[in-house]
Structure 1
Amino acid sequence: MTGADARARATERREGANQTLRDEIKAYWSARAETFDLSPGHEIFTEAERAAWQALIRRHLGEAKGRPALDLACGTAVVSHLLDDLGFRVTGLDWAEPMLERARAKARQRGRAITFRMADAETTMEPDAAYDVIVTRHLVWTLVDPAAAFAEWRRVLKPGGRLLIVDGDFVNQGLAERLVKRLSTLIQRVRRRCVEAPHQSTAELAATHAAILQRVYFSSGAQAEAVAALLEAAGFVNVTIDRNLKAIHRAQSIHWTRLKALSRSLEHRYAISATRPVDGA
């Protein structure tokens, strides 16, 4: 076997492994769809939180003015509705049909003209330069190939278009966060109750989540600086890390115990905005 043959087979094995992982991720989120909207941090339950999210979007994307917006990995369309409320013309993509079923039903119920399509966020099949803005929430940490995904997102943005990523490092924990979470767990056991949504207490789904996390690109944690560096390498400019999500977390905290709210405030969560350059695009 030549060196070229060996490299080709190694590439095939990696691609096959990545495809298997993608299938597992798709199945995981399909299973999560039924109870996804029950969790604070997923669905929005108060006007205070809605206003906080919309302020974050305006801060990084500006006024909507009917501009086309792409909500990647839209799930049950929480972010799609935020964008629609602000006046964007919204398309939501997701590859889990159960999520899209709920997204479409929610849009019908609310009388919203939001377009939903099934697609992989890493290979959208959308036209070149089709959108003024792209938004993702809690997607980047699940990416198998973020460099390819960021290049794809740059392609479908118009020159001068803006990308907004909202994500976090859900792997690494500081000492204070670890202590708070351990104390919270102990208290829950004593009181014999769980403050999380039902899907988060399912052992099988938790095991699947852990197995997936070990194999995605950001298996050691999606630190904001690492994500920003990959965006710059993909050709984005004006890459800005925004850690000021306090208003969102404060609005969500009314649904949690004090320890859960404190733990959430200590997590490495962030928003990152970036621009497709106009010149040399």
Structure 2
Amino acid sequence: MTQTAMQQNYHLKDEIKAYWSARAETFDSQPGHEIFSEAERAAWHALILKHLGVGEGRKVLDLASGTGVVSHLLDDLGFSVTGMDWAEPMLERARAKAKTRGRSIRFLIGDAESTMEPDATYDAITNRHLVWTLVDPLGAFREWHRVLKPGGRVLIVDGDFVNPSPLAKITSLIAKLAARLGLAKPTAHHGPTSADLAATHKAILSQVYFSQGARAEAVVDLLKQAGFSNITVDTDLSAINRAQRVNFGLLKGLERATQHRYAISAVK
């Protein structure tokens, strides 16, 4: 990698860090981030159990852990959890949440593309809505392969948030029109919460590796290059979508349900 490329990547990753630090204050108030019902919690538990099994004290590294939402789900299931994020405001909220709930989850500041964790340390690695933001996903996947124990598994939950389906486009337009006419309340916003953050989000998206959308098949190809095998793509997130729809509203819920979302598991 050239010095110029390194400087550009550093600048971009710095911008990503600042963006998520700014998002920390309202992160847990937004549907799709925090868990808002027991039905949603159960749906997430079922997804994790399906791909990772019960924890039984196994060590899991939850990357881009944010305020600790997925870390708590893993803790519920008996995993020994380390959450890692490089936005300190997110970690402050994650640690406070764990203290309030009496959870012994360890939270560390760190870069998901270069964790600085020892070789063969973890039984599993998880992340939610991280891969689409990666500057160097192949390098990140190789790093995850390194810190996993032999037979360890990675679970990626992500999607293509760039290319909406035809139905998603239609439902989005209807939702905006209904809100403008006063026929429906604007749905809780999942993305940036101000014009400045929206502009930053757009600028970041244009520069990351998956700027054209993180399609499952592209993620799988990079996982194979990184040395992973036994790769499974699970596109049945319907239980989670149904549980979240209550908080998003019908049209926004339908829009999200038609997005290319997936859980990918792979083995070292």
Query: Normalising by the residue count of structure 2, what TM-score does the alignment of the two structures yield?
Result: 0.97
Amino acid at match of 2:213: G
Deviation for aligned residue 1:69: 0.6
Q: Any idea what the Cα deviations from partners look like across 1:48-105, whole Å, max 9, x if unmatched?
A: 1111101100110112110001000000000000000000000000000000000000
In structure 2, runs of 5+ residues without a counterpart are none
- One of 208, 214, 221 as aligned partner of 1:229: 221
Secondary structure class of the residue paired with 2:100? helix
Amino acid at match of 2:149: K
Residue 128 of structure 2 corresponds to 137
Change (3 A) 1:67 1:47: same
Q: Which deviates the most, 15-24 or 170-179?
A: 170-179
Structure of higher CA gyration radius? 1
Residue 4 of structure 1 corresponds to none
Deviation for aligned residue 1:264: 0.9
Secondary structure class of the residue paired with 1:66? coil
Change (3 A) 1:72 1:256: same
Aligned positions, number: 267
Q: 8 Å contact 2:51–2:265 — kept in the other structure?
A: yes
Residue 178 of structure 2 corresponds to 187
Q: Any idea what the Cα deviations from partners look like across 1:11-68, whole Å, max 9, x if unmatched?
A: 1111110000000000000000000000111000111111110110011011211000
Over aligned residue pairs, what C-alpha RMSD do you find? 1.2
Amino acid at match of 2:13: R
Residue 146 of structure 2 corresponds to 155
- Structure 2 Cα separation of the partners of residues 21 and 200 of structure 1: 17
- Alignment pair present for 1:75 and 2:66: yes
Q: 8 Å contact 1:181–1:259 — kept in the other structure?
A: yes
Residue 259 of structure 1 corresponds to 251
Q: Any idea what the Cα deviations from partners look like across 1:130-159, whole Å, max 9, x if unmatched?
A: 000100000000000000000000000000
- Structure 1 Cα separation of the partners of residues 21 and 186 of structure 2: 23
- One of 246, 264, 268 as aligned partner of 1:272: 264
Correspondence 1:99-248 to 2 at 5 A: 99-191=90-182, 193-197=185-189, 200-248=192-240
In structure 1, runs of 5+ residues without a counterpart are 1-7, 277-281
Residue 49 of structure 1 corresponds to 40
Query: Normalising by the residue count of structure 1, what TM-score does the alignment of the two structures yield?
Result: 0.93
Identity across matched positions, percent: 63
Q: Any idea what the Cα deviations from partners look like across 1:164-211, whole Å, max 9, x if unmatched?
A: 000000001121211111111111222285222497441111111000
Change (3 A) 1:239 1:144: same
